[in-house]
Structure 1
């Protein structure tokens, strides 16, 4: 697939993703209710969603619907993770959206990217690589890394470098999360990246800072 075609595919899916069928999209989350359900999440992700270890992702400030969708993918085993499967087994759709709403109100702690990797990471993030057929990361995740809530693309700003790099390597190896068109974008892109490129762009994403949760801005 050419760079132009790959980029066009990402754009088309971004435009139509808001209309894509999601099993939990009709459920409205309650942040207050989510707070009372989030105790079990804190062991790995931190009490406020800022995971203290790069083994687990930061979910503070992440989009509520994105969190709910990932929980539903874990529950259906479309996204394979034995640890998460145990936690989500008894969650209802309402629970998933309540948890998403709660963590969306939290602020992600800024991370620190590696300056030695910044140049290549910034190029991939802001311009992509036409020779590799890789579109700019910001075309879906935004110039500041806060993602695109309407299209369902997650916030990556401040996320642990090792975690993002690990997911890119999984996609590079052919792992997918679900069967819809959106789930096929990252595996196609990641397989074009070298291990060094994956670490570089992941490091750059970690160094992007967010001032406040997107949900807070939406309420202004």
Structure 2
């Protein structure tokens, strides 16, 4: 089977496109208010505020850790759900109730949590060399940073320590373009992951989960 690697020129091209798109999108973005976001997060913490919570659609996987995530990325992702570029029906329904200011406030709230740097979770043994080769093959570090904890733009997510089963679901979603309720429409990510097999996506996802990062799920009290 022929192996395809993304050249440096190709990575530079997609990054140029990414920054051009982000610059256009961020021009009039409102500033987020963490205190306001704390008052607007009821629909979020019902899933993302429960340690170990899993969703059953389209596959069973843990919902992503949001505390400590970049505010701008959270607002960007919510806007993509609202526009239908991310097709998850529950998330799209939630996003459609939010204004642009709401999204900015929720992003500020989750980023402001600033959980302490979390140690990597226990996981199955990983072939680190093989995983790092996949990181190079897909060009992941070009946007997400060498350690997956310092992306080159706050509009890109921190990934280190994120749940591996969620990462696998998300990566598969970028490979999906022909389903009504599953898939993500980002052409840059689609170009990165289309060259990887399902097994390679799992290896990559579990490797990223094994890294130390500052993402967390904060268990919320039922009484507020």
Q: What's the TM-score, normalizing by structure 1? A: 0.78
Structure number with the higher helix fraction is: 1
CA apart distance, 1:156? 0.7
CA apart distance, 1:38? 1.2
2: CA distance between counterparts of 1:169 and 1:212? 21
Aligned to 2:191: 188
Residue aligned with 2:199, SS = helix
Aligned to 2:107: 100
CA apart distance, 1:52? 3.7
Paired residues in the alignment total 199
Q: 2:72 aligns with which of 34, 58, 65?
A: 65
2: CA distance between counterparts of 1:208 and 1:57? 15
Aligned to 1:32: 35
Q: 1:20 aligns with which of 2, 20, 24?
A: 24
Tell me if structure 2 keeps the 8 A contact 1:120–1:197: no
CA apart distance, 1:124? 2.3
1: CA distance between counterparts of 2:22 and 2:92? 26
5+ residue gaps, structure 1? 214-220
Distance 1:88 1:17, change over 3 A: closer
CA apart distance, 1:109? 4.4
1: CA distance between counterparts of 2:214 and 2:90? 31
2: CA distance between counterparts of 1:71 and 1:185? 18
Aligned to 2:15: 11
Distance 1:173 1:87, change over 3 A: closer
**Deviation above 6 Å: which 4+ runs of structure 1?**
none
2:217 aligned with 1:210: no
CA apart distance, 1:115? 2.5
Aligned to 2:168: 165
5+ residue gaps, structure 2? 55-60, 217-224
